Amino acid sequence: MKHLIESQQFNQKSINKIFALADKLEKKTDKSLKGKIMASLFYEPSTRTRFSFESAMLRLGGSVITTENAKEFSSAAKGETLEDSIRVINNYVDVIVLRHYEQGASQRASVVSDVPVINAGDGPGQHPTQALLDLYTIKRELNKIDGIQIALVGDLKHGRTIRSLSYLLGKYKNIKIYFVSPLGLGVGTDIKEYLDKHKISYYETDLLEEIISKIDVLYQTRIQKERFKDEQEYLKFKGCYQIDLSLVSRMKAKSIIMHPLPRIDEILMEVDSSPKSVYFKQAKYGLLVRMALLKMLIKKH
């Protein structure tokens, strides 16, 4: 693996290797990236992905250069192409973590980059490092991945975390996915075709109540306001699924509630104190997974 662009790149063996390293890095100080530099090049807003990557690099002894609003604060504002920016940044760093508003931007960047490019979210495309940390969370919290029943809930049309996670789940056995979305925000045919090909069972519904008692994982997502053409259209869907304690009480005893965050109104704050709620832990696990990824990618380069 030179660049990390999409979930389809991984198999169970490579995922296990990342998770084993993440486990190890939790227990032991590692400064093996001393002298290496990471660029975090973010054209879209972020809290978790940018800070966790930067923290991961610093914890591994490396250094970070960063632009948090590259659309405005890099030479993109003067009309420089992404490709030219990547070629130039190649002279300064050992890895580039890229978040961009266009689907396929990381792929384009990887073509002109000698240093590893990590896709930190490309528009409505993919967010593969989020999917890896999601899977790591499931493994840590449920002690298994094979055989789980998971509900992916919310804006499945625009959600890149949903896309990347579905592709990763397609690599495991006896998984059942419930796609829960309002009419008009359903999951794309690309994902369904992929799951059909990998013989993963899935079911589509707009009724969360219908399946709430069957699932091991409730993966809630927000309605992606920034992907709608106008606010009125977004407002039609805002608040369509809200997890409250009454709904949580109908879940299996050992089930968990996840969310890639940020949360808007789709999980009520009363749910935060439930032992099932692991979304803040999930963000913490992200640090370990991203440390493992940086160590693996930079070492190979």
Structure tokens at 139: 């493994």
Which entry of 99, 222, 259, 290 is annotated as an active-site residue? 99
Which entry of 50, 59, 127, 222 is annotated as an active-site residue? 127
Q: Which residues bind ligand CP (CB under 6 A)?
A: 46-49, 121, 127, 130, 260-262
- Using CA atoms, how far apart are residues 262 and 256, in angstroms rounded to an integer? 18
Q: Is the distance from CB of 17 to CB of 74 less than 8 angstroms?
A: no
Strands (E), the chain: 37-42, 63-67, 95-100, 117-122, 149-153, 176-180, 201-205, 217-220, 256-258
**Has 24 been annotated as catalytic?**
no
Helix (H, G, I), strand (E, B) or coil at 282: helix
For residue 40, the cross-strand partners are 66, 97
Structure tokens at 274: 């439930």
- Using CA atoms, how far apart are residues 142 and 179, in angstroms rounded to an integer? 20
**Has 160 been annotated as catalytic?**
no
Structure tokens at 96: 């580039």
Q: Least distance to ligand CP from the beta carbon of 195, Å?
A: 23
CA-based R_g, the chain, Å: 19
Which entry of 27, 34, 78, 300 is annotated as an active-site residue? 78
Q: What per-residue string of b and e applies to 240-263 under the rule 16 or more CB within 10 Å gives b?
A: bbebeeebbeebeeebbbbbbbeb
136 vs 200, beta carbon nearer ligand CP = 136
**Has 49 been annotated as catalytic?**
yes
> Which amino acid appears at position 132 of this protein?
L
Q: Least distance to ligand CP from the beta carbon of 247, Å?
A: 22
116 vs 286, beta carbon nearer ligand CP = 286
Q: Least distance to ligand CP from the beta carbon of 21, Å?
A: 21
Q: Least distance to ligand CP from the beta carbon of 101, Å?
A: 12
Which entry of 3, 49, 221, 290 is annotated as an active-site residue? 49
**Has 192 been annotated as catalytic?**
no
What is the DSSP track for 208-221? HHHHTTT-SEEEE-
**Has 3 been annotated as catalytic?**
no
49 vs 126, beta carbon nearer ligand CP = 49
State the DSSP code for 271: G
Q: Least distance to ligand CP from the beta carbon of 37, Å?
A: 21
Nearest to 262 by CA among 43, 51, 118: 51
Q: Least distance to ligand CP from the beta carbon of 53, Å?
A: 9
For residue 177, the cross-strand partners are 150, 202
50 vs 157, beta carbon nearer ligand CP = 50
127 vs 290, beta carbon nearer ligand CP = 127
147 vs 262, beta carbon nearer ligand CP = 262
Which entry of 48, 50, 100, 290 is annotated as an active-site residue? 48
Q: Is the distance from CB of 124 to CB of 100 less than 8 angstroms?
A: no
Active site residues: 48-49, 78, 99, 127
